Structure 1
Amino acid sequence: MSLNRTELIAKIAEKAELSKADADKAIAGLQDVLIESLQAGEPVKITGLMSIERTERAARKGRNPRTGEEIQIPAGYGVKISAGSTLKKAVASK
């Protein structure tokens, strides 16, 4: 089972004793900060929870799965997310 945005907002509102509207604003704010920081190439580290950074992907050759034709895939960026120590310990203990 996964947690969707609505369920996440409800749980955060309950745990932090906030209204759902305030919890939604907090999630939206976090999303905006993550996007802005990663677009600028700045890593985001939430100690104990996670580290998020932008990674570069080199240009490479690939194949069109429908035709088998070789294609050139342009260079671009990806996102790398690493679990922090607190999160790793919490998951390992269950």
Structure 2
Amino acid sequence: MRKADLVNAVADIADLSLREADDAVSSVFEHITNALARGEPLNLIGFGSFNVKQRAARQGRNPKTGDLIEIAASKQVSFKAGKNLREHII
């Protein structure tokens, strides 16, 4: 499913115009992105939880040359599916 498919589904379910549905979906994505950028966890009961995890710096290997390289510390978004979502998938 692409964003356009999601917008169409929201427009049909909520009886909105495509423009209003696109604004609503874009707004939800923007708020999720902003919350995670601030380091805040986002919990959507029944759907799942988004968190930002810190990855430590580490050493890796260049697969082409075999040389050791330093991989910088970074942040990573993680998602844990909620009970309702897991039940629908399994």
TM-score past 0.5 threshold:
yes
For 1:81, the equivalent position in structure 2 comes to 79
- Percent of pairs with identical residues: 34
Distance 1:9 1:32 in 2: 15
Distance 1:64 1:38 in 2: 31
Q: Which runs of 4+ in 1 moved over 3 A?
A: none
Aligned-partner SS, 2:5:
helix
For 1:25, the equivalent position in structure 2 comes to 23
For 1:52, the equivalent position in structure 2 comes to 50
Aligned-partner SS, 1:66:
coil
Deviation at 1:25, TM superposition (A): 0.8
Q: List runs of 5+ in structure 1 lacking aligned partners.
A: none
Distance 2:13 2:65 in 1: 52
Distance 1:17 1:50 in 2: 26
For 2:6, the equivalent position in structure 1 comes to 8
Deviation at 1:87, TM superposition (A): 1.0
Deviation at 1:28, TM superposition (A): 1.0
Which shows bigger deviation, 51-60 or 63-72?
63-72
Distance 1:50 1:26 in 2: 20
Q: List runs of 5+ in structure 2 lacking aligned partners.
A: none
TM-score, L = length of structure 2? 0.92
Aligned residues: 90
TM-score, L = length of structure 1? 0.89
Aligned-partner SS, 1:27:
helix
